[in-house]
Every structure is written in structure tokens, then in C-alpha cells.
């Protein structure tokens, strides 16, 4: 996945010949990474995004939603098994699946803030943390470092050397080894491998260890806590700390040595030239562009623009929410919970999550493509009823104020939405026959 990176580069095929292209994933992608991970740091865990896309607009063109979160300290395995991460990040992501699913296409970073006595609308927060999804660009990933063209060429060189070595092995060594080692001998060597044997020696497979199980039960039953001033307890702590320091020091030195050797060997211009790596190539493993995708994208844009003045109250409410919310650059989970409580009209069915998601994505893309025309069409789309328009404005205010006061640029945008909703053009351009009910949907917001 990293050396050569065939997955991101689109060079992996399924058994039926279908090329695996990560850009074709339509479900939201969630990435966990940590600054304390010395095996797959954030730069490497997120580098595939730089491989696939030139900018966030290209991510949106594929309809993809990517959400990543960066922990400050947890290690590689801790991302998956740490109790603290499970109670915080894992729990928040699990409880906010709808929030992630409703996000417009783009790149986001999930951030977490502990709920406190000063938290606005705490009743909208089921857990102890506030999850926000903040808009990001590819420059935010590049700023983490480790994604320079020089690094790309080093990894490409390592991949090429690996392929050459594999080809030489298959051509020269593999036939000889297969003729010497029978399956039975290979199995015997596997069983007696030092890496495997060190575990087998101290397991129940070793007859000499059977007494340990009974002794462990006896000791467990007789265990008693020692006093805090016990000298052996203090000695145990000191020895434990020294072991940790020694292991950390060994790890840091070996990793530094490995990194230095890697940079020196695979960064060598002579080696890169010998294996055919172009020293002027900026990103040697970037997948190709699809002409079909471009054609489909243009057709999709034309289709979207034809829907600028189509819809009714629901579309107008979503346009207002998105237009004002984009000024904030982030989505708060409280807004999602407030959205669930909104009804524009009693006695009519609400939209399902899938229906709302499709409608919200369409309105978001329209605001990106033709912001002024999309906003200008709102008065023509609104119903004649003043009460319904006021209900729509109330719904927008309720959702946007769920995470705090509407201020700054968001407040200025809100004033513009209010003017559009209250304009008399709504009655002039909208008749009772040409209403939102023509869509066959209710006037609730979301189920």
C-alpha cells in the first residue's frame, strides 16, 4: 500500500479484470491516524488523498466525502484497541454516522471538544464529547510534511528495486529452492521458526509448562496487595521504568538508523537513474485521469444547472442552511440533532436520510457551481403562504443556532436569506398549483 502504492495508483485488478479505483468509492471514508503512530503517521495515512486528487473540487467531482481525525499521542495499535480512543473517537463516530453521511462531498477533519457546563444546547449531545467536521484542503495534508516529490521518488525507487529483486528471485532462486525443500520440510522449518517457537515454548503445548497453569491459579487466589512503602514495589517500578526507557531508546535509535539508510540508499540519484526513475518527475505513482469521468462530469453539471429553479420549500430551506453554514466551514453534531426535530408542516411525512442526503448534495453542488443564480431562484420557488416561509426561516435559525450564536459572515449571509424568504416575489412567481407537493414529498425535513 505504501511502497509502490499500487492501490492508490490504480494498478490492482480483481479476478475479473476490474481495476480497483479508490475514487469510485461512494460511501463516506473515515480515516483514523495519530501523531504518536511511528508506523503509519498521519502524513502516510493520508498521502493516498494527495495521490488521487489535485484539489478538493476534484474530490467533490467524484461525489466523495472523506473525514479524517488526528490523535495527538496514541500509538499504532492504540488507535484500534485503546479504551480511551474507543470511548471518545470510536464512540463519537459510531453515534454520528448520520452526520458523516449527510456531509456534502469534500474533505473534512473531525475534531472533538469535551462537553462542559458552558456548552450550548447540551441536551442535543448524547455523549461527553462534541464532534465537529471542519472543512479542509489538500494543503492541510501537505503541511504535515513527508509528502515531497523527493519522498515520492524514494518510494518509487524502493518499489522498483523490490520488483527487480522479486523477478530475479523467481527466475534464479525459486526453482532451485522448490527442488530442494519438500512441503514436509518446509512445514517443519515453519514450526521451528524462532519467531513462532518463542511462543510455543511457553504455551500449553510444552509439557513442562503444564504445572505453571495450576501454580498461576493458586497464586491468583492468594494474592494480596502490598503496602505503598514496600521496597520491592518501589524496585519493581524503577525496573519497569528502566525497561521502558531502554526499549524506547532502542526503538528511536533503530528507527533513526533505518530512516537515514533509506534516505541515503533510495535517495541516491545513481540508483534512481539505474532503475529508471525520472529525477524530474513530481509524483511518479499518481493514477491517470479518466476521459469518461470528465464527460460524465460535464453532463452532470449541465443537468444540475437545469434544476436551479426547481423545487419548493424544502429545497429553499436546505439552500439557506448550506449557504449560511458554508461561512462557518464546519458542521456540528448538534445541528444534525436539531435538524431531526424540525418539521415544516404537520401531518406530512418527513424525508428519509437517503432522500435528504440526495437533496442536500444537489443543493450544495448548485451553490458551488452557480451561487448567485441558485440564491436568486429562492423567491420563485417558495410557497405563497407567509406562514410556511416563516416556518422555513425558523427551521434554518434553529439548526444553525444549535451549536452557538450566528455571528460574523454567517450572520450577514443569514440576513440575505431572510430577505429572500420575505420578498414579495414569492407570491408573484408562485401559484397554489405550482407547489412543493408536485414532488410527491412531504414538507417535513428528515426522518
- Residues 263, 355, single domain; the answer is no
Percentage of the chain lying above the pLDDT 70 cut: 91
Structure confidence at residue 213 as a pLDDT band (50, 70, 90) = confident
Confidence of residue 433 (pLDDT cuts 50, 70, 90): very low
**137 and 13 share one domain:** yes
Which pLDDT belongs to residue 432?
47
Q: For residues 164 and 264, state if they share a domain.
A: yes
Mean pLDDT across 381-404:
91
Domain that holds residue 127: 6-142
8 pLDDT exceeds 90? Answer: no
Residues 433 and 299 in one domain: yes
Assess whether 350 and 427 both reside in one domain. Answer: yes
User: pTM to 2 decimals?
Assistant: 0.78
Q: Are residues 162 and 106 part of one domain?
A: no
User: What is the pLDDT confidence band of residue 346, given thresholds at 50, 70 and 90?
Assistant: low
One domain for residues 304 and 431:
yes
Q: Is 185 a domain residue?
A: yes
Question: Is residue 327 included in any domain, yes or no?
Answer: yes
Mean pLDDT over 404-423 rounds to 92
pLDDT band at 309 (very low <50, low <70, confident <90, very high): very high
Q: Higher pLDDT residue, 104 or 424?
A: 104
Average pLDDT over residues 233-261: 94
Same domain, 245 and 297: no
Per-residue confidence band for 1, with pLDDT thresholds at 50, 70 and 90: low
Q: What is the mean pLDDT of residues 171-184?
A: 91
Q: Is 56 within the bounds of a domain?
A: yes
Residue-level pLDDT at 382: 92
Does residue 250 have a pLDDT over 80? yes
Confidence class for position 244, pLDDT limits 50, 70, 90: very high
> Are residues 130 and 211 located together in one domain of the fold?
no
Where is the domain boundary, 142, 177, 197? 142
- Flag whether pLDDT at 444 surpasses 70: no
327 and 191 together in one domain: no
Query: What is residue 435's predicted lDDT score, i.e. its pLDDT?
Result: 44
Please state the rounded mean pLDDT for residues 307-318: 92
The mean pLDDT value of the chain amounts to 86
Looking at the structure of the chain, the number of domains it has is: 3
d(CA 145, CA 396): 40
Q: Which of 126, 142, 158 is the last residue of a domain?
A: 142
Please indicate, yes or no, whether residues 112 and 251 belong to a single structural domain of this protein. Answer: no
- Are 434 and 299 part of one and the same domain? yes
Q: Over the stretch 49-108, which tens digit does the pLDDT of each residue have?
A: 998 999 999 999 999 999 999 998 888 888 877 777 767 777 778 878 888 888 999 999
pLDDT confidence of residue 254 = 94
Amino acid at each position: 500500500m505504501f511502497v509502490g502504492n499500487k492501490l492508490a495508483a490504480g494498478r490492482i485488478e480483481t479476478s475479473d479484470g476490474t481495476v480497483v479505483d479508490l475514487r469510485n468509492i461512494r460511501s463516506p471514508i473515515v480515516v483514523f491516524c495519530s501523531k504518536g503512530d511511528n508506523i503509519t503517521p498521519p502524513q502516510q495515512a493520508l498521502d493516498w488523498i494527495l495521490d488521487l486528487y489535485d484539489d478538493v473540487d476534484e474530490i467533490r467531482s467524484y461525489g466523495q466525502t472523506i473525514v479524517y481525525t488526528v490523535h495527538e499521542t496514541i500509538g499504532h495499535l492504540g488507535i484500534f484497541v485503546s479504551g480511551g480512543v474507543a470511548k471518545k473517537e470510536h464512540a463519537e463516530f459510531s453515534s454520528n454516522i448520520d452526520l458523516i453521511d449527510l456531509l456534502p462531498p469534500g474533505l473534512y477533519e473531525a475534531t472533538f471538544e469535551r462537553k462542559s457546563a458552558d456548552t450550548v444546547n447540551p441536551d442535543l449531545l448524547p455523549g461527553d464529547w462534541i464532534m465537529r467536521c471542519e472543512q479542509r484542503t489538500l494543503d492541510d495534508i501537505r503541511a504535515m510534511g513527508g509528502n515531497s516529490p523527493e519522498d515520492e521518488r524514494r518510494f518509487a525507487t524502493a518499489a522498483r528495486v523490490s520488483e527487480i529483486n522479486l523477478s530475479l528471485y523467481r527466475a534464479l532462486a525459486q526453482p532451485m529452492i522448490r527442488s530442494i525443500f519438500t512441503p514436509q520440510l518446509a512445514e517443519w522449518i515453519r514450526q521451528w521458526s524462532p519467531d513462532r517457537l518463542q511462543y510455543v515454548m511457553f504455551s500449553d503445548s510444552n509439557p513442562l509448562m503444564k504445572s505453571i497453569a495450576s501454580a498461576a491459579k493458586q497464586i491468583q487466589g492468594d494474592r494480596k496487595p502490598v503496602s505503598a512503602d514496600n521496597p520491592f514495589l518501589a524496585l519493581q517500578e524503577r525496573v519497569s521504568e528502566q525497561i521502558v526507557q531502554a526499549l524506547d531508546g532502542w526503538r528511536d535509535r533503530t528507527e533513526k538508523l533505518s530512516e537515514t539508510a533509506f534516505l541515503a540508499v533510495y535517495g541516491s540519484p545513481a540508483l534512481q537513474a539505474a532503475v529508471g526513475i525520472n529525477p524530474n518527475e513530481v509524483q511518479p505513482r499518481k493514477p491517470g485521469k479518466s476521459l469518461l469521468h470528465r464527460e460524465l462530469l460535464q453532463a452532470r453539471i449541465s443537468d444540475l444547472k437545469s434544476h436551479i429553479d426547481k423545487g419548493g420549500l424544502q429545497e429553499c430551506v436546505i439552500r439557506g442552511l448550506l449557504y449560511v453554514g458554508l461561512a462557518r466551514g464546519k458542521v456540528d453534531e448538534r445541528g444534525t440533532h436539531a435538524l431531526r426535530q424540525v418539521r415544516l408542516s404537520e401531518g406530512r411525512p418527513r424525508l428519509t436520510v437517503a432522500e435528504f442526503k440526495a437533496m442536500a448534495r444537489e443543493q450544495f453542488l448548485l451553490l458551488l457551481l452557480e451561487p448567485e443564480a441558485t440564491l436568486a431562484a429562492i423567491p420563485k420557488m417558495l410557497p405563497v403562504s407567509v406562514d410556511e416561509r416563516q416556518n422555513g426561516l425558523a427551521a434554518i435559525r434553529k439548526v444553525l443556532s444549535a451549536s452557538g450564536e450566528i455571528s460574523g459572515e454567517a450572520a450577514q449571509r443569514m440576513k440575505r436569506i431572510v430577505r429572500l424568504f420575505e420578498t414579495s416575489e414569492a407570491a408573484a412567481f408562485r401559484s397554489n398549483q405550482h407547489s412543493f407537493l408536485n414532488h410527491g414529498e412531504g414538507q417535513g425535513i428528515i426522518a
